[in-house]
Amino acid sequence: MKRILVVYLFCFALVQQCFAWGREGHRLTAMVAEDYLTPLAQENVRYLLGKQSLADVSSWADEYREDHRETARWHFVNIPGSASSYDRVRDCPEPDNDPQSKWRDCVADRILYFEEQPQSSSTDKKQKAFALKFLVHLVGDIHHYLHAIGEAREGNDIHVILFGTMQCDERSECNLHGAWDEGLLEYRNMHEKGYLGLLRSEIRENDWQRKDGGDPTVWANASHRYAQHAFVPAGTLIDSRYYEMEIKVVDQQLALGGLRLAHVLNEIFTAPPSPSAAQ
């Protein structure tokens, strides 16, 4: 346990090198999806991404958001903690820069928006690649519990004691959202290849592939219910007991995110890529 905590604290000082839902969690979801793509979907992915894999682009949307703040609301849906389910009018705001658009600014709507783009004959290769990269990321986001609850800025304002520490880096205290982004997965102390193997085994053992369908509303509602269960008051100790209660559902969400991403891409890419004359 002492060794794990040392590794864990070291990783918070070097976030980019450590296991986090924000980066490696998205990679895992994308790698699961790659296992279940049809040959036609694989061909289209290669055409749009070139030498990059789905895992390689899985966090691109977070990087894009840094200089395009108008996309920030695309990554989550603020369902009130007391609500039983997603309400599009209440929880998914109209875009500030285009109030007449049929699409709203939350992860549930934007997944549908980006599903539509690669299927349009008027969308060029660059736009299709843009849509694909967002889809890879947003399907992962909607399976992260705390991207589906609006309380305390999705848990960012809930300060917690994370495996014995209150200070998770030099600038900030530990918070509940950070515990889910980084802490629980890092506590497992498992390399990416091993974690991917674990998810593959759990998919087979639990027959999770039968749950690969649905739509963003269904996925958001499931994440919201998990978030309600996982939410804790400020000052809570996130310890091994909490970890044991939640880690199996974390695994399920990472795996289902990948299976559902593959299902979406298989539905979109049903024909070989056909470049237009303009392209």
Nearest CA to 208 out of 241, 249, 238 is that of 249
Q: Is 110 helix (H, G, I), strand (E, B) or coil?
A: helix
Lookup result for tokens 């100790």: 237
Q: Read off the pLDDT of residues 267-279 as tens digits, 9 standing for 90 and up.
A: 999 999 977 544 5
Asked whether residue 230 is domain-assigned, the answer is yes
Q: In the prediction, which pLDDT does 276 show?
A: 56
Q: Name which of 142-151, 173-182, 251-260 the model is least confident about.
A: 173-182
How distant, in Å, are the alpha carbons of 97, 165, 170, 181 from that of 26?
A: 29, 26, 25, 10
Asked whether residue 278 is domain-assigned, the answer is no
128 vs 137: CA distance, rounded Å: 14
pTM reported for the whole predicted model: 0.89
Q: Quote the domain boundaries for residue 55.
A: 2-268
Tally of structural domains, the chain: 1
Asked whether residue 184 is domain-assigned, the answer is yes
Q: In the prediction, which pLDDT does 123 show?
A: 92
Q: Read off the pLDDT of residues 115-134 as tens digits, 9 standing for 90 and up.
A: 999 998 889 999 999 999 99
Asked whether residue 37 is domain-assigned, the answer is yes
Asked whether residue 277 is domain-assigned, the answer is no
Asked whether residue 203 is domain-assigned, the answer is yes
Asked whether residue 215 is domain-assigned, the answer is yes
Please state the length of the chain: 279
Asked whether residue 201 is domain-assigned, the answer is yes
Read off the CATH number of the domain in which 102 is found. Answer: 1.10.575.10
Q: Read off the pLDDT of residues 240-250 as tens digits, 9 standing for 90 and up.
A: 999 999 999 99
